Amino acid sequence: MKLEEFLKNDNFRKHLGVEVLEIGNHYAKVKGIVKKEHLNFHNVCHGAYITALADFAFAIAGNSDGKKRLAISIKTDFYKPAFEGNELIAEAKKIRGDKVAFFEMVVYKGKDIIAKSEGIVYRKE
């Protein structure tokens, strides 16, 4: 089964409301809309939703070549808040590696970078 077919039926993607915009060679771009249920007690978008968008793009990019890779680490830094109704775009791209590969993820609100993540994946044989 191809990656696109897996994504179409992915329950977590459906739960997050994520739309896959682009898949390339070790690259992915996804979109999510901040909903009321994504807000924290400060009434701003919860960091877990922002990280989940980055992680979802990361998972697609990491598996885009048909090889099975699993995340072993992800770290996110937050720069600016997002609010209900904001459209967020997350992009992931491979920086280097193969068996153990390093990725960079960036989450945008419009042209503003609101978060950056770093992820590491391990390729299963």
Sign of CA dihedral 115, 118, 124, 125: positive
pLDDT in tens, 26-73: 999 999 999 999 999 999 999 999 999 999 999 999 999 989 999 999
pLDDT at position 13: 83
pTM score over 0.75: yes
Largest CA distance in the chain: 44
CATH of the domain at 93: 3.10.129.10
* Nearest in space to 60 (alpha carbons), one of 121, 125, 124: 121
Q: How many domains does the chain have?
A: 1
Structural domain containing residue 47: 3-123
